[in-house]
Structure 1
Amino acid sequence: MEALSVKFYEFGNPCDVLQVESKQLRQARKGEILVRMITRPINPSDLLPIRGAYSHRISLPGVPGYEGVGVVTEVGPSVPQHLLGKRVLPLRGEGTWQEFVRTSADLAVPVPGFMEDETAAQLYINPLTAWLICTEVLALKPDDTLLVNACGSTIGRIFAQLSKVLGFKLIAVTRNNAYTEELLELGAQYIVDTSETSLHGAVMELTHGRGVHAAIDSIGGADGTGLAWCVQPHGNLVTIGLLSGVSINWAEITRRAQVHVRMFHLRHWNERVSVSTWQATFHQLITLIQHNQIKLRPPAARYSISDVQEAVRTAESHLSNQGKIFLI
């Protein structure tokens, strides 16, 4: 049996190097399942490897895609037959930008009946990252104050919702007032629009000169550096992205600002976590979705997997506050 797959044989601009081709499917082996994909979002983290950001640990040809949802169509030896026909998140296996994905049955996350496909497909990268940073990395307590830049983004909205769930105070940093009302409704306590006010001055005023307990940087460059100076001495800053493309000498910032800086990579957590904890963590997120404590945005647009170049062009020129682009 043949199925469509998106591949790249060299690193470069995704629109230039991505190819759609047919491949021969092999049967699921012991402990594996075969999943017919329904839909998957296009994330910035899907495009970075194509451009060569992690070329030292990516073998070519590669299949992009970290997230998605599908239906189990085949189980390998030792895998329970009752999984057949069930919806799952086929994570940490093959890239999801193909019609069928093989993955470990133990790591596949069951999707409950109440959850829509396009919500389930987004449950991994952003919600899991935000949850782990708040509960494990920073271990935020009620009344702690967290400062987050690029807060109009998908993950910024999740931090806002988690502030309400976990009880910490969120100061959301934006570059305009387009997201103010929504972020306040989601749970942010304060909004700092840097197009109108100084970040440091606003944060010091809001915290009575003490600074925040912790901060999360998705931008890097001058924005990330400015964030560090808003953290109280010996507080924590977690860097999760580099939207500006400008790196920071975090060792120097750590020395000068007297803050603890760490980078968060979801794959490092994946490497050390047990299967039971992996599944239990997703169960926690699914429960928050079920109780409407976390809401994920619907897709902005959907494209066939055979139109992947057009989908990627749209995703790269797209405003994140309008929802993600999906491949169906």
Structure 2
Amino acid sequence: MKTIRAVHRAYGVPCEVLNAEEVEIGSPSSGQVLVKLLRASVNPSDMGMIGGSYGRLRELPAIAGREAVGEVAEVADGVQNVKVGDIVRIPEEPGAWSQYTICDAKDLMVLPKGLDLDMLAMSFVNPPTALLILEEFCELKAGDWVIQNGAGSALGYFMIQMCRLRGIKTINLLRNAKSKEADLKAIGADIVIDESEFDAKKLKDLTGGGLPILGLNQIGGTSVSNMIKAMGFGGTIATVGAMTSELVRFPTRFLIFNDLRLRGFWWDKWQRTHSKEQKDAVFAKIFKMIEDGSLRAPVDKIYPLSQIKDAMKRAAEGGRKGKVLLSF
């Protein structure tokens, strides 16, 4: 059987080094299944892995992609945990962006049926990141404040919605805030501020006196420096990305006199260091939120895998209206 895969043979600009290559993959052997791609999501971490800047890189030549869902199309002998027609997560390794993938059945996560495919394709990186930062970094209660930059991203959307479910209030920083303010407030954002207009000294006027005790940093540079100045005493800022690649100049006096904590979070590491039962518990919460409609994020455009270069070009552009997804 032939399939199209998104392959890069060098690290570099994704829309330049990534190609749709047709290869022969054969048939599943005993204990294996053939999975057909339904949806895949393009994340900043994918761009970093293809570009060679991520914390974990694949050996070249590499199949790209971390997040994808598919349908079991064929089952070989000796498989009991999945059946034809099941919706499954396509394993991250050796790469998820392939029209057809032969997988060991034991490695597959069977997903609840009837859930939105676009949301399922976005459910394996950003939602667990948001959930674990909320649950493991601070003891938050209803009425507390969380601040985040990059709030217009998929991760930003998920953080807003998870906070809303817990009665936690959010301060959301992003560029060109006016263009997304209505959308963010519609899903539960309390305060939406343009990065260029944010003044930490005036934050109490907007919150009625409250200050954030948890921050989520995706941007780095001046953005996170400004967030540090806005934190309440003993607050924690969790960094998951550095989209600007700017150096962070820490305001030392705020670290000392406000007893702030600056931490990092890497979902890849969390997955490797926690049990299957712990991971299943996280995803059970996420799938329940998708099922009841309380977790959603906009989609900018869905590209067929054969147009991978166009998809990568779009994913790298600013001003998108949501996630870039891939399909069969």
TM-score normalised according to structure 1 size: 0.89
What is the aligned partner in structure 1 of residue 287 from structure 2?
A: 286
Residue deviations 1:226-279 (CA, integer Å, cap 9, x gap): 111111232100011111121326696855763111111110111012112222
Decide whether aligned partners of structure 1 residues 158 and 56 sit closer, same or farther in structure 2, where only a CA change above 3 A counts.
Answer: closer
Which range is displaced more, 92-101 or 9-18?
92-101
Conserved in 2, the CA contact under 8 Å of 1:305 and 1:327?
yes
Conserved in 2, the CA contact under 8 Å of 1:92 and 1:103?
no
Counterpart amino acid of residue 315 in structure 1: A
The CA distance in 2 between the partners of 1:101 and 1:309, in whole Å, is 20
The CA distance in 2 between the partners of 1:254 and 1:33, in whole Å, is 53
What is the aligned partner in structure 2 of residue 65 from structure 1?
A: 65
Counterpart amino acid of residue 289 in structure 1: I
Residue deviations 1:215-235 (CA, integer Å, cap 9, x gap): 111110100111111112321
Decide whether aligned partners of structure 1 residues 262 and 24 sit closer, same or farther in structure 2, where only a CA change above 3 A counts.
Answer: same
Q: For structure 1, which runs of at least 5 residues remain unmatched after alignment?
A: none
Partner secondary structure for residue 229 of structure 1: helix
Residue deviations 1:9-46 (CA, integer Å, cap 9, x gap): 11111122112223332555676543211221222221
Number of residue pairs the alignment of both structures matches = 326
Decide whether aligned partners of structure 1 residues 242 and 289 sit closer, same or farther in structure 2, where only a CA change above 3 A counts.
Answer: same
Decide whether aligned partners of structure 1 residues 248 and 103 sit closer, same or farther in structure 2, where only a CA change above 3 A counts.
Answer: farther
Partner secondary structure for residue 63 of structure 2: coil
Pair 1:313-2:310 in alignment? no
Decide whether aligned partners of structure 1 residues 109 and 203 sit closer, same or farther in structure 2, where only a CA change above 3 A counts.
Answer: farther
RMSD: 2.6
The CA distance in 1 between the partners of 2:51 and 2:219, in whole Å, is 18
Percent same amino acid at aligned positions?
Answer: 24
Decide whether aligned partners of structure 1 residues 17 and 200 sit closer, same or farther in structure 2, where only a CA change above 3 A counts.
Answer: same
What is the aligned partner in structure 1 of residue 186 from structure 2?
A: 185
Conserved in 2, the CA contact under 8 Å of 1:250 and 1:261?
no
Pairwise CA distance, 1:65: 0.6
What is the aligned partner in structure 2 of residue 120 from structure 1?
A: 120
Partner secondary structure for residue 83 of structure 1: coil
Counterpart amino acid of residue 160 in structure 2: A
Conserved in 2, the CA contact under 8 Å of 1:95 and 1:101?
no
Pairwise CA distance, 1:102: 4.2
Matches within 5 A, 1:35-184: 35-54=35-54, 57-75=57-75, 79-80=79-80, 82-103=82-103, 105-175=105-175, 176-184=177-185
Conserved in 2, the CA contact under 8 Å of 1:6 and 1:18?
yes
Which range is displaced more, 217-226 or 16-25?
16-25
The CA distance in 2 between the partners of 1:207 and 1:256, in whole Å, is 22
Conserved in 1, the CA contact under 8 Å of 2:297 and 2:322?
no
Conserved in 2, the CA contact under 8 Å of 1:89 and 1:109?
yes
Pairwise CA distance, 1:309: 0.9
What is the aligned partner in structure 2 of residue 214 from structure 1?
A: 214
Counterpart amino acid of residue 182 in structure 1: D
Pairwise CA distance, 1:70: 0.4
Counterpart amino acid of residue 262 in structure 1: R
Partner secondary structure for residue 178 of structure 2: coil
Residue deviations 1:138-171 (CA, integer Å, cap 9, x gap): 3432222100112122111111111111221111
Conserved in 1, the CA contact under 8 Å of 2:4 and 2:22?
yes
Residue deviations 1:145-201 (CA, integer Å, cap 9, x gap): 100112122111111111111221111123332222222221122222344x33302
Which range is displaced more, 130-139 or 226-235?
130-139
Pair 1:273-2:274 in alignment? yes
What is the aligned partner in structure 1 of residue 262 from structure 2?
A: 261
TM-score normalised according to structure 2 size: 0.89
